[in-house]
Amino acid sequence: MSVWAVLAINAAILVACFVVLWLICLRTRDVTPVDSFWAFGMVVMALSSFAFATGDPQRKLLLLALTAAWGLRLGGYMLWRWRDHGSDRRYVALLGKAQERRGWSFAKASGLLVFATQAPLLFAVSLPAQIGQVDALPPLGTLALIGACLSLFGTLFETVGDLQLVRFKRNPANQGQVMDRGLWRYTRHPNYFGDACAWWGIWLVAAETSTGVWSIVGPMLLTWTLMKWSGAPTVEGKMARTKPGYADYVRRTSGFVPWFPKRA
């Protein structure tokens, strides 16, 4: 099956999933579950490609396994956080403004501002896990091994960072304090850095093939969104307003790539 046929099938599946999720969210009046599907949806894209693409079986299995390890972990964590913390305030504010200032209904605001923007972004970011499964040659090599190690490292790094943050927040003594321990001592965003490593690693596995190398747009787009758009800028803006010690934390701590903290 050609790469275009695989992408067309995956796109149709993704649109169907997003429409169903949107209809569910219309009933609950809460779009926060879309964050969980951001990760689960990439696993769906990898699984669909595994079913329909006719590439090297070992590379297909490796790409599916790496995507599932990252996506099921992150999706499960986001689902737990939604159930534990409730609706994401960012979505509440975004949809609230659209309804108040533009007169949009909840259905229109959520459909256009959340689902219609996240679906194509998810599709693009997951391209390495999709088209990396198309080519039958070459077999897995050194680059794929390096990519697998990088991806697993990123998933583990992100997992440890999330666990450390959860434990920190659950301690009442840390109320109002800035998390600057563990991995958070070396980077202000260990979760985002882990995300980037996971997908650059998946791309390296795909890049051994002549078709998969073109999927570099996926990790590039993900890294840009994490560093410049919906990731770090959103979090840091809120933290600067609510945490008095955050400015000092920013001055001494690397913004993305882990590094030793600067002296005060």
Question: Taking 80 as the threshold, does the pLDDT of residue 234 lie above it?
Answer: yes
CA angle 239, 72, 145 (to 5 degrees): 100
Task: Report the distance separating Cα 132 and Cα 216, nearest Å.
Answer: 11
Instruction: Place 231 in a pLDDT band, splitting at 50, 70 and 90.
Output: confident
Q: What is the pTM of this model?
A: 0.94
Q: Is residue 250 within 8 Å of 179, Cβ to Cβ?
A: no
Q: Which residue has the higher pLDDT, 141 or 229?
A: 141
Q: How much is the mean pLDDT over the chain?
A: 94
What integer pLDDT is reported at residue 244 of this predicted model? Answer: 84
What integer pLDDT is reported at residue 264 of this predicted model? Answer: 64
Tens digit of pLDDT for each residue in 90-122? Answer: 899 999 999 999 999 999 999 999 999 999 999
Q: Which of 158, 178, 125, 132 is nearest to 256 (CA)?
A: 158
Domain ranges of the chain: 3-252
List the alpha helices (DSSP H) in the chain.
3-28, 34-52, 57-85, 89-101, 106-110, 116-125, 127-131, 142-170, 190-206, 217-228, 232-242, 246-252
Instruction: Place 54 in a pLDDT band, splitting at 50, 70 and 90.
Output: very high
Tens digit of pLDDT for each residue in 160-188? Answer: 999 999 999 999 999 889 999 999 999 99
Q: Is residue 112 within 8 Å of 63, Cβ to Cβ?
A: no
50-63 mean pLDDT: 97
Percentage of the chain with pLDDT > 70? Answer: 100
Question: Taking 80 as the threshold, does the pLDDT of residue 59 lie above it?
Answer: yes
Lowest-pLDDT range, 45-54, 169-178, 232-241, 242-251?
232-241
Q: Which residue has the higher pLDDT, 148 or 177?
A: 148
Q: Which residue has the higher pLDDT, 39 or 264?
A: 39
Question: Taking 90 as the threshold, does the pLDDT of residue 25 lie above it?
Answer: yes
CA atoms within 13 A on the CB side of 64: 18
Task: Report the distance separating Cα 200 and Cα 48, nearest Å.
Answer: 21
What integer pLDDT is reported at residue 235 of this predicted model? Answer: 84
